[in-house]
Amino acid sequence: MNQKTEELKKIKDEILTLTKSPLYTYRIKNKYFPVIGEGSHDAHIMFVGEAPGENEAKTAKPFCGRSGKLLDLLLDSIGMDRKSVYVTNVVKDRPEGNRDPLPEEIALYGVFLERQIEILQPKIIATLGRHSMKYIFEKYGLGTVLESVSKIHGREFVGKTSYGLVNVVALYHPAVALYNGSMKSVLMEDFKILRKYK
Ligand code: URA
């Protein structure tokens, strides 16, 4: 096992036994899995969603439901596929009934996300939705430019990490296009920014 894979496995093991998480009992009771992340360990692009939904918690795979199908379509529109990127979430366990994650859940699981970012060192972090946007922007020194997704989507920023600079782009969560079809073209336009990071 190479070093990246080993370090990522350690994160998985720690989350599997994260009994202090408020979402742990819910996971066990429903025979759900935590969703750690999936994709290339040499990816230039890391997508960060919000939290697993039911399909994801049943399969341990990020974005494998309806939002995931749209993510695949958006990647396809720029000539990419899942295997060449890395996809994860801020919160690794499913919140009950798909409610928004609580600030303390984001804080607890966000530490694991930061470790994943340090291990994979992507060239660009693409946040999907407001929760991951807020976490990443605040964590990497972009708190001052943080606004609603509708104001800053599709624009590149440069954040500061422990290993150096990282590009960050806020994208709408693909789920918005499931409820509002016209958002699909906005997402497709924003995804074009990722082409140069292939
Ligand atoms: N929505 C998310 O934010 N993440 C997933 O993994 C699935 C749906």
* Separation of CA 101 and ligand 1 centre (Å): 12
* Separation of CA 61 and ligand 1 centre (Å): 9
20 CB-near residues (< 8 Å, 6+ apart) = 108
Q: How many domains are there within the chain?
A: 1
| Residue 100: per-residue pLDDT | 96
58-67 tens-digit pLDDT: 999 999 999 9
132-166 tens-digit pLDDT: 999 999 999 999 999 999 999 999 999 999 999 99
12-62 tens-digit pLDDT: 999 999 999 999 999 999 999 999 999 999 999 999 999 999 999 999 999
**Domain at 32, CATH number:** 3.40.470.10
Counting ligand 1 atoms within 8 A of each CB, the residue from 59, 66, 67 with the most, and so the one to mutate, is: 67
* Separation of CA 177 and ligand 1 centre (Å): 14
Counting ligand 1 atoms within 8 A of each CB, the residue from 23, 35, 48, 56 with the most, and so the one to mutate, is: 56
114: containing domain: 3-197
- The atom number, within ligand 1, closest to the CA of 132 reads 3
* Separation of CA 161 and ligand 1 centre (Å): 24
Query: How far apart are the C-alpha atoms of 68 and 70, rounded to whole Å?
Result: 5
| Residue 1: per-residue pLDDT | 80
